[in-house]
Amino acid sequence: MDPATAREAATLGIWTFLATEVLLFGGLFTAYVIFRIQYPQMFYEDHLKLNRVLGALNTVVLIGSSLTVALGIAAIRKGKVTLLRFYLFLTILLAATFLGIKYVEYTKKFSHGLFPDTDIFFSLYFMLTGLHGIHVLAGMVALGTVLFLAGRGRYSESYHTPVEISGLYWHFVDLVWIYLFPLLYLVG
């Protein structure tokens, strides 16, 4: 397979995987829609118990990490490996920040007696943000692997498909949060 065809195949592969991811979250989004219509009062009251400021802060953190990944890919497209590694490191740092803030939020909720079995809203809140959190972790592992391999000189101006592919995955994680944040924190 020539390199261009290989890259095209990899691109289609990751988009196919992302399609299955959309539908994985899709089931939970469907549950959200159904129960929100059924229990508008509960969703309204409960969403006020979430910390809008921390949620917004985490949104900005994830958007920033999307930017650093994009800049990293732009760097390796010009063959700048050191710059790529710097941006990947920054991205992983931002991902860790996101999880750190999420940890603070969870702890606060637990201390206020709000658990996944409190009611349907918090059940969905913990399921959706928990599943998303797992994706953040997976993204950190993927980007960490790419960072490690970049250090071994695997990527260059002419070959960096894994960087692009894991970048696409990372942007997807950002995409999911772009919807989760308003649905859970802003409109309940």
Query: Which residues are near other proteins by CB under 8 A?
Result: 7-8, 11-12, 15-16, 18-20, 22-23, 26-27, 29-30, 33-34, 37-38, 52, 56, 59-60, 63-64, 66-67, 69-71, 73-74, 77, 164, 168, 171-172, 174-175, 178-179, 181-183, 185-187
Task: Report in angstroms how near the CB of residue 43 gets to other proteins at its nearest.
Answer: 10
Task: Report in angstroms how near the CB of residue 19 gets to other proteins at its nearest.
Answer: 4
Cα 167 to Cα 161: distance, rounded to the nearest angstrom: 10
Residue 22 or 148: the one with the smaller Cβ distance to other proteins is 22
Q: How far is CA 119 from the centre of its chain?
A: 25
Residue 56 or 104: the one with the smaller Cβ distance to other proteins is 56
Residue 111 or 158: the one with the smaller Cβ distance to other proteins is 158
Task: Report in angstroms how near the CB of residue 59 gets to other proteins at its nearest.
Answer: 5
Cα 32 to Cα 176: distance, rounded to the nearest angstrom: 14
CA-based torsion, 115, 119, 120, 125: positive or negative: negative
Q: Which of 28, 36, 7 is nearest to 129 (CA)?
A: 28
Residue 27 or 100: the one with the smaller Cβ distance to other proteins is 27
Q: CB of 96 within 8 A of CB of 140?
A: yes
Task: Report in angstroms how near the CB of residue 143 gets to other proteins at its nearest.
Answer: 14
Q: CB of 136 within 8 A of CB of 99?
A: yes
Residue 67 or 131: the one with the smaller Cβ distance to other proteins is 67
Return phi, psi of residue 187, to 5°.
Answer: -115, -15
Task: Report in angstroms how near the CB of residue 74 gets to other proteins at its nearest.
Answer: 4
In degrees, rounded to 5, the angle at the alpha carbon of residue 68 between the alpha carbons of residues 89 and 161 is: 80
